[in-house]
Amino acid sequence: MTELSKIRNFSIVAHIDHGKSTLADRLIQQTGTVKERDMQEQLLDSMDIERERGITIKANTVRIEYPANDGDTYVLNLIDTPGHVDFAYEVSRSMQAVEGSLLVVDASQGVEAQTLANVYQAIDADHEIVPVLNKVDLPAADCDRVAEQIEDVIGIDATDALQISAKTGIGIPDVLEAIVERLPAPEGDRDAPLKAMLVDSYYDAYLGVVVIIRVIDGVIKKGDRIKMLGTGGKYPVDRLGVFRPKMEDIGELGPGEIGFLTASIKQVRDTRVGDTITHEKKGTEDALDGFKPAQPVVFCGLFPVDSAQFEDLRDSIEKLALNDASFSFEMETSAALGFGFRCGFLGLLHLEVIRDRIEREYDIDLITTAPSVIYHVFMKDGSMIELHNPADMPDPSTIDHMEEPRIKATILVPDEYLGDVLKLCQDRRGIQEDLTYAGTRAMAVYDLPLNEVVFDFYDRLKSVTKGYASFDYQMTGYREDNLVKMSVLVNDEPVDALSTMVHRDRAEMRGRAMCEKLKDLIPRHMFKIPIQAAIGGKVIARETLSALRKDVTAKCYGGDATRKKKLLEKQKAGKKKMRQFGKVEIPQQAFINALKMDD
């Protein structure tokens, strides 16, 4: 049992690639938590996909024991959080479970958009924040400039910011001392009724649901019967433990401690993140505030390429949803693609990660439809429906008006690229709200339609700024606009997977781009294929894919020209018939590439 004054709970927050996971590795290594031979890069990132992309997706916890310079041994509970905007939900959850944060800033790159977003979450959670300048061993590092930036942009005193290199290990002992000296110890009452917060949960094939908890008051022991206040579920505790990154059993968890429990819980959806756990008898009645549930913002359809794999897909999606509270799904059918699921995600990276995991972990080939957002469609009879899929759009004559979701985007960019960024936002129907400077970098705040951002805004932003811009957004609400549904017809058949919602002023440009793109992507067939974009009954763009031809006149040499004519006429008639009955095969890659709209 650890004294409260000897516990420190903290998380590491930073922008993508500023070195959170590397710093976590060094802290674990420096304190000898893991034997040298078991050490590896990104130790806390357990998913293959996290290692491959070099990003953190799930927040991970680890308990470190550190003998400080004052002779006492401290227990440090570290939560390594993601840096990417799509996983901000993981960050906000982790913040509630700890009292302090290490703010890691790359000494060569400086403060980025996601640094701001994550540090504001820490400030909202009343954290004590210790600024850490990482990568000081790089030739481009400029600690004074970055410290000044932290003070100007975030407003945190950075005079005694720690200067470290997580990769080489410079300054790591100072970080451990600073955690002990500068971060507060948790508060809690050992004798009060048990009150613990459910921070996260995931499904393990052997143990059932593993629940990560932070004890606020009281003590939880192995064998106790617990109750979840939110869902009302009651369970016996089978196993208690802490992560030293590997699971290690422990007899009891007291106030201020972070650990895990298993309690024969069958489904992760029985464990609501942010729920309060207490004893079944003599428990507390007042629940903790919990977290606001994650709202999916991007929707898309996932269909198996081979329709026989539909049941496997259902299985894999249900298993993924077990571990990911922010991923939602429902069944849908499509004329072109058969049975599949309409899934909701927090953003495009989240979508890509889930898609990659299904393809890799469950070996299912997927077709992904165009990402879309939720539109509010107001009907003439006064009712309002939420439109998730453009294919379900009601008859335009019954619609009064439509509203689309808007976001507030914060973009930080070196000023030589500012013009390109402003033009990009203007092209995407953005409204400029603010433009300020911090040193040589501009911070532009724009009100943008989410629909324009989900496609490839991030990629375009990175390409016009050579990768120097950083981008963060939050939802602000809905606004009315002139929106229409654009359908794509291939050989006079509508392809519902390619129908999208567009602004009327940009429909023709989008339609033309889509047709030209499909013309290059669809392989040629034995007959001519018209590719059209239409709004309602009106075609706004068209391309024709020419037919493959066999040279039927090759066997004619010399002789009468009518022989050749006869053969060509016969071929023409065959092509005409073929076009009536022929089915156009659109390959999977064509769908994916067609949906990456470039300007």
599 marked ligand binding residue? no
Residues 352, 360: Cα–Cα separation, whole Å: 12
**Cα(127)–Cα(12) distance, integer angstroms:** 12
Whether residues 134 and 39 share a domain: the answer is yes
Q: Rounded to an integer, what is the distance from CA 242 to the centroid of its chain?
A: 27
Of residues 403 and 81, more confidence is placed in 403
User: Is 491 marked as binding a ligand?
Assistant: no
Higher pLDDT, 532 or 165: 532
Measured distance CA(200)–CA(526) in Å, rounded: 56
Each residue of 80-103: b (16+ CB within 10 Å) or e? Answer: bbbbbbbbbbbbbbbbbbbbbbbb
Identify the bridge partners of residue 535 per DSSP, sorted by sequence position: 486, 538
**Has residue 586 got a pLDDT over 50?**
yes
Distance of alpha carbon 116 from its chain centroid, rounded?
18
Same domain as 473, residue 489:
no
Are 298 and 371 in contact by the 8 Å Cβ rule? The answer is yes
**Structure confidence by residue, pLDDT tens digits, 9-47:** 888 887 777 777 778 777 777 776 666 555 555 554 445
Q: Are 162 and 188 in contact (CB under 8 A)?
A: no
48 and 172 share one domain: yes
Q: Please say whether the beta carbons of 466 and 417 come within 8 A.
A: yes
Integer Cα distance of 529 and 515 in angstroms: 12
Q: Is there a domain that residue 292 lies in?
A: no
Does the pTM of the predicted model rise above 0.75? Answer: no
DSSP letter at 592? H
With beta carbons less than 8 A apart as the criterion, state whether 486 and 499 touch: yes
- Name the percent of the chain lying above pLDDT 70: 84
Q: What are phi and psi of 439, to 5 degrees?
A: 70, -125
| Domain CATH code at residue 268 | 2.40.30.10
Residue 289 inside a domain? The answer is: no
pLDDT score at 455: 67
Domain boundary among 481, 499, 518: 481
Considering the domain boundaries, does residue 287 fall inside one? no
DSSP result, 91-133 = HHHHHHH-SEEEEEEETTT---HHHHHHHHHHHHTT-EEEEEE
CATH of the domain at 433: 3.30.70.240
One domain for residues 336 and 456: no
Q: What's the pLDDT at 598? A: 46
**187 pLDDT more than 70:** yes
Lookup: tokens for 299: 């929707």
> Are both 88 and 224 inside the same structural domain?
no
Helices and strands counted in the chain (H then E): 14, 31
Q: Where are the alpha helices (DSSP H) in 268-308?
A: none
* One domain, residues 501 and 573: yes
The CA-atom distances, in angstroms, between 216 and each of 252, 487, 491, 517 are 14, 54, 64, 57
Please choose, from the candidates 410, 373, 369, 494, the residue with its C-alpha nearest in 3D space to the C-alpha of residue 118.
Answer: 410
The answer on 515 and 406 residing in a single domain is: no
**What does the pLDDT look like over 299-343, one tens digit per residue?**
888 888 777 888 888 888 887 776 666 778 888 877 667 788 888
385-398 core/surface letters (b: 16 or more CB in 10 A; e: else): eebbbbbebeeeee
- pLDDT(388) > 70: yes
Claim to verify: residue 176 and residue 229 sit in the same structural domain: no
Is residue 108 annotated as involved in ligand binding? no
Report the chain's mean pLDDT, rounded to a whole number: 78
- Measured over the CA atoms of residue 289, residue 128, residue 244 and residue 218, the dihedral's sign is negative
Q: Which domain holds residue 402?
A: 376-481
pLDDT in the model for residue 176: 82
Tell me phi and psi for residue 434, to 5 degrees. -160, 150
Span 425-454, average pLDDT = 84
pLDDT (0 to 100) of residue 458: 74
Find out whether 243 and 253 touch, Cβ atoms under 8 Å. Answer: no
Q: Which of 60-64, 136-140, 585-589 has the lowest mean pLDDT?
A: 585-589
Nearest Cα to Cα of residue 349 among 44, 106, 586, 83: 83
Would the annotation count 297 as a binding residue?
A: no
| Residue 341 is assigned to a structural domain of this protein | yes
SS3 of 423, please?
helix
Query: Two tokens at 598?
Result: 């470039």
Answer yes or no: is pLDDT of 230 > 60: yes
Same domain, 108 and 67: yes
- Which tens digit of pLDDT belongs to each residue from 67-122? 877 778 888 888 766 655 556 666 666 677 788 888 888 888 877 767 777 787 78
Consecutive H or E run containing 462: helix 457-464
Determine if residue 363 is labeled as part of a ligand binding site: no
End-to-end CA distance of the chain: 61
Q: Is 17 annotated as a binding residue?
A: yes
Number of independent structural domains in the chain: 5
Asked if residue 136 belongs to a known ligand binding site, the reply is: yes
For residue 334, give both structure tokens. 């499509």
Q: How far is CA 530 from CA 64, 130, 501, 507, in A?
A: 64, 62, 22, 19
Q: Is 134 annotated as a binding residue?
A: yes
CB 506 within 8 A of CB 513: no
Q: Express each pLDDT in 452-462 by its tens digit.
A: 877 667 778 87
- Residue 371 tokens read as 């990402």
Same domain for 133 and 80, yes or no, is yes
**Which pLDDT score is estimated for 596?**
57
**What is the per-residue pLDDT for 325?**
66
Kindly report, residue by residue over 234-246, the tens digit of the pLDDT: 888 888 888 877 7
Q: CB-based contacts of 162: which residues, under 8 Å, 6+ apart? A: 130, 131, 132, 133, 171, 174, 175, 178
Q: Are residues 261 and 362 in the same domain?
A: no
Q: CATH code at 342?
A: 3.30.70.870
Domain containing residue 82: CATH number: 3.40.50.300
Same domain, residue pair 400 and 488: no
Domain membership flag for residue 188: no
**Amino acid 42: pLDDT:** 52
